[in-house]
């Protein structure tokens, strides 16, 4: 089946550090990748949609300069949390789509980010 | 992107019993999908049901879709302790650029 690899699984770092999270589709080409944020005991909140080779589309309220997204190839998207602060601590999850609306999204295992 | 509603919010049952979770949505859809999330992990796709389908089965899972009521249900039969997880429904709305609209989720606990 389709596999999406996300790493790191968890990060603990000091306030002010920039953190990069990678999302790779291992056995399929992902024309579209999604980045979500999930707070404890809540549903997924879409942050941005990224299409290969073009700029990401951010959801309302998500700071583009804070959460930099790059989708340089059909198998890799990265999310960089710049100058992270404690309020950025959260669970970040990526998913990938082949672009077929009748196929499910395939999810990475998530990244637990803790900013001290 | 969160417009769906799920109920119950939490469900605790004995192993071996059946578990039913419901999902309602607001817009016209291409399909509706159910996912499972174990604590601290990513989401695992369970079943996708298209808007022109009414029922779908996969192993111990049965999903129904009623587009007139804009609702769906997920039935897990003969539950096992390993079914303990959060379950989310998500709809692929028409014209949504593949974005999914997520329900709030149901926390299912199976007691051994």
Tell me what pLDDT residue B96 has.
65
Return the pLDDT at A21: 97
CA distances from A39 to A46, A78, A87, A114, B44 (A): 12, 20, 11, 12, 18
Q: Which of residues 54-93 of B touch A (CB under 8 A)?
A: 88, 92
Query: pLDDT digit string (tens) for A50-99?
Result: 988 888 999 999 999 999 999 888 999 999 999 999 999 999 999 999 88
B10-14 and B106-111 beta bridge pairing: parallel
Q: In chain A, which among 94-113 make CB contacts under 8 A with chain B? A: 95, 97, 99, 101-110, 112
Average pLDDT, chain A: 93
Cα-flanking dihedrals φ and ψ of residue B83, to 5°? Answer: -80, -10
What is the distance between the alpha carbons of residues A25 and A5, in angstroms, rounded to a whole number? Answer: 6
Tally of CA atoms within 13 A in the half-sphere of A105 that contains its CB: 31
Which residue is closest to B50 within chain A, CA to CA?
A: A102
What mean pLDDT do residues A31-50 have? 93
Report pLDDT for B17.
Answer: 97
Instruction: Considering only the beta carbons, identify the residue of A43, A106, A108 that sits closest to B103.
Output: A43
**Which of A43, A48, A57 would best serve as a mutation to test chain B binding (most B beta carbons within 10 A)?**
A43
Using CB atoms, pick whichever of A46, A102, A110 lies closest to residue B99: A46
Shortest distance, CA A46 to any CA of chain B (angstroms): 6
Candidate from B33, B42, B45 with C-beta closest to A93: B42
Instruction: Please give the Cα distance from B5 to B2 (Å, whole number).
Output: 9
Q: Does domain B5-111 have CATH number 2.60.40.10?
A: yes
Question: What 8-state DSSP symbol labels residue B41?
Answer: S
Residue A99 is predicted with a pLDDT of 81
Of B91, B94, B108, which is closest to residue B21 (Cα–Cα)?
B108
Question: What are B2-33's pLDDT values in tens digits?
Answer: 557 888 999 999 999 999 999 999 988 899 99
The shares of helix, strand and coil residues in chain A, as percent rounded to the nearest 5, are 5, 50, 45
Residue B93 has pLDDT above 80, yes or no: no
Predicted confidence (pLDDT) per residue in B32-81, tens digit: 999 999 998 999 999 999 999 999 999 999 999 999 999 999 999 999 99
The pLDDT score that the predictor gives to residue B2 is 52
């Amino acid at each position: 089946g389709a596999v999406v690899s996300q790493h790191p699984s968890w990060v603990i770092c000091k306030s002010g550090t920039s953190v990069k999270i990678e999302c790779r589709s291992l056995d399929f080409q992902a024309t579209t990748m999604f980045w979500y944020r999930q707070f404890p005991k809540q549903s997924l909140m879409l942050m941005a949609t990224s299409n290969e080779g073009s700029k990401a589309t951010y959801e309302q309220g998500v700071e583009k300069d804070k959460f930099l997204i790059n989708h340089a190839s059909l198998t890799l998207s990265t999310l960089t949390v710049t100058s992270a602060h404690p309020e950025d601590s959260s669970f970040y999850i990526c998913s990938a789509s082949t672009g077929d609306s009748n196929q499910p999204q395939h999810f990475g295992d998530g990244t637990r980010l803790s900013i001290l | 992107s969160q417009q769906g509603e799920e109920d119950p919010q939490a469900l605790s049952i004995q192993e071996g019993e059946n578990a039913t979770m419901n999902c309602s949505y607001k817009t016209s859809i291409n399909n509706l999908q159910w996912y499972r999330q174990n604590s601290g992990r990513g989401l695992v796709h369970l079943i996708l049901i298209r808007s022109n389908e009414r029922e779908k089965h996969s192993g111990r899972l049965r999903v129904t879709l009623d587009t007139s009521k804009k609702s769906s249900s997920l039935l897990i039969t003969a539950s096992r302790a390993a079914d303990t997880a959060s379950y989310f429904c998500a709809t692929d709305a028409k014209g949504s650029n593949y974005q999914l609209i997520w329900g709030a989720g149901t926390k299912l606990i199976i007691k051994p």
